[in-house]
Chains A and B, each alone.
Chain A
């Protein structure tokens, strides 16, 4: 008997695109919901044209950036500027429990799939709208990516080196924070609907969700005027605290000495060198005051060994340490293998590719993506015929009218 899945039977019309919306609906899809991801052929979801591409060959059906975020979903194309497509969209809304979208505010209203329309079609629908700045306010129309929101939300200011311009997180950072909040909000709204039958509209601003990850420092600024800024890898409270060079090409091991006991552990791991016995370094205040010196000496020691040997030597003495892993290292990480984190899924064009799995495992079922991401329009027929139960004539009419796009 197949496992019971948490969201089996739940129906989601997913008009969202790029990062936050699709990652949010992915949680529901992977854990059992039927999610129909609606795309247009022009413009394409930008993740379909951004890499990494399978074998480095670009193509709209070859991007793992898109694929990782759209597992376990059905994929259809609708040209929402076409009236026949809007009719199909309305059928989807009538079918669905949840309607998700992530356009610039006002867009869904102009497309004819806004909340008032959706509620008229389906009074108990839950509609989740997410965008960078939220549906209202003077900057609501600010369109862009998580790079922009990450910069406005303060994450560029706090990433990089104090003597260099802001470096920024490498990725569109608010896209990594927001889907977690939005998925939790959506699941709570579903539980409320299960008990009361009431739907509602959710306005989730990626900026506002993301600011919670800076909350202690924002409150500190408001109280004391102290403004935190980028500081490499250093901590206000611990030292040494950084990434140290190891043997090999661009290899690093992160080391965090959280207290005086761990400092003693670090000394044992290094074989009790004389420099480390300096009394100035015995307590955290002294180590914080002399970080340059400690970092350079510690780096001399780490340089002589591969990162794994450094990590193991430190772990042996109870000191937190971790190899700075790249995506290739993750593929070899024994802990991730133990958890079954990466899952091979068979994609129509890319073939078998390892997909990144879940960040939590739930007992009782295989908590993992169920199927590969769809190629563009992969399930057009199936969704119209089997899910929306349109007749052959209706489907033909929709196609002739150009509903499914070019």
Chain B
């Protein structure tokens, strides 16, 4: 879909998924790396736990459908080559500290001189300017400042982030949306566009109904463990089963079926069936009307029902009966999930050590322009000759100079 377009990716781990999204959607992505490689190449987890060059799975996960070009932007030749690439590009994405690119003469103003139709996307923790623009930041502190941490965790311990970094990934996919929005505007105005992405605000949006709580209801939501807050009721969602945990949202028709099954299993007496209008039960609870069985009794009953069944039994039984019982999947469950296998989701990728692995597949199935992985993540500088030679027509000594591998 985006095959007419070229993207220059100058990012590190904070932006690599942005250009990968555009690459998966068809764009030609040229990853411009410093002579030492993108910093993400030095981030774990590593293949065989060997923290060596070309072994980073962080890099491998977010750099497919890209070509790698090494450019030493500290040298004049390197910078000249970059500007030649900019002339041929449609998008630039960078994730340096606010103002850093401009400080090196590589910011939006310089780029638009080279290409008056360029879309320039900058990803930073807090945005390009403002009182917090230069705050030292990491995934954890952005999750804190953005708000979602305040909602997660149990009340008697510290608030928690998700145990894996997420902030740069949210900001990155958001940046791909910003890039395409700005591109649509550029087509109308014929003017270069600057897109200023703030990871903090991307994290705010992960709070969902939590982000506007105080301004409309006069009070914040607070962390409450594995529950969903419905009005004044905290409804526990996670129940322990035979081989792990499941998530069940016991409302409506699903609750009626669960009550039926509990009666069949002898967990509760038969009079439960008629004690309540179960599909409407949660409305009564929400409105604090009297009920025959309290919500705690109901949740205990659900817990008793799942206790001796496996995650997969519950999922399959629920699927057949239209009751959603979601396993708390670990990595093994995910890689073995029959549904993903039958949809052909996983792709087999050649790893840098010569072995192969299953990797997450394309984002969506499209009837007209199917997405595909045309290239697996490149080795550092794998396409320097190809891009600088074929695309820019540089000689081999000019290429050596520009890529920081020259004699001097």
Contacts and interface: CB of A to CB of B under 8 A. Distances in A.
A254 B144 contact: yes
B334 A218 contact: yes
B402 interface: no
Interface string B368-393: 11000000000000000000000000
A157 B363 CA distance: 22
Interface string A207-228: 1110111111111111110111
B27 to A, nearest CB: 9
Contacts of B365: 134-135, 202-204
B216 A185 contact: no
Contact of B218 (A55, A170, A211, A224): A55
A321 B143 CA distance: 11
Contacts of B178: 359-360, 362
Contact of A199 (B127, B157, B176, B368): B368
Given A159-B160, A171-B207, A192-B369, A56 B218 contact: yes
Contacts of A188: 1-2, 22, 25-26, 180
B58 A216 contact: yes
A250 to B, nearest CB: 8
A245 interface: yes
Interface string B18-59: 000110011000000000000000011101110000000110
A226 B330 CA distance: 11
Contacts of B345: 208, 211
B363 A204 contact: yes
Nearest to A155: B162
A106 B194 CA distance: 41
Nearest to A187: B180
4 pairs of A and B residues whose beta carbons are closest in the complex:
A200-B368, A322-B141, A338-B130, A360-B178
A221 B333 CA distance: 11
B193 to A, nearest CB: 6
Given A4-B188, A156-B238, A252 B364 contact: no
Contacts of A211: 334, 345, 360
Summarize B's interface: helix, strand, loop or mixed: mixed
A324 interface: yes
Interface stretch (B66-74, B258-266, B351-359): B351-359
A402 interface: no
A58 to B, nearest CB: 7
A321 B182 contact: no
A209 B363 contact: yes
A348 interface: no
Given A6-B182, A192-B1, A229-B330, A200 B231 contact: no
A371 to B, nearest CB: 16
A203 B130 contact: no
B238 A166 contact: yes
Interface string A95-115: 000000000000000000000
A148 B324 contact: yes
Contacts of B349: 219
B99 interface: no
Interface stretch (A80-88, A173-181, A271-279): A173-181
Contacts of A229: 163, 330
A321 B144 CA distance: 9
Contacts of B17: 212
Interface stretch (A232-240, A280-288, A375-383, A388-396): A232-240
B149 interface: yes
A362 B181 contact: yes
Nearest to B345: A208
Contact of A184 (B21, B210, B216, B351): B21
Nearest to B132: A335
Nearest to A265: B136
Nearest to B131: A334
B339 to A, nearest CB: 4
A331 B126 CA distance: 15
Contacts of B135: 315, 320, 322
B206 A173 contact: yes
Given A170-B210, A336-B201, A356-B204, A7 B184 contact: yes
Interface string B308-326: 0000000100110010101
A328 B219 CA distance: 8
A117 interface: no
B197 A359 contact: yes
Interface stretch (B78-86, B165-173, B270-278, B289-297): B165-173
Given A145-B249, A181-B173, A362-B194, A216 B149 contact: no
B201 A177 contact: no
B176 A184 contact: yes
Contacts of B202: 359
A38 B387 CA distance: 48
B193 A363 contact: yes
A160 B226 contact: yes
Nearest to B355: A223
Contact of A138 (B57, B130, B212, B342): B342
A256 B137 CA distance: 8
Contacts of A405: none
A75 interface: no
A218 B360 CA distance: 8
A268 to B, nearest CB: 14
Contact of A143 (B169, B189, B322): B322
A189 B368 CA distance: 9
A260 interface: no
Contacts of B189: 4, 364
Given A153-B334, A224-B49, 13 more contacts: A6-B188, A31-B184, A65-B212, A145-B249, A149-B326, A150-B247, A164-B154, A167-B152, A223-B355, A230-B163, A325-B145, A354-B215, A364-B193
Given A31-B181, A156-B238, A215 B62 contact: yes
B116 interface: no
A339 B200 CA distance: 11
Interface in A14-31: 19, 27, 31
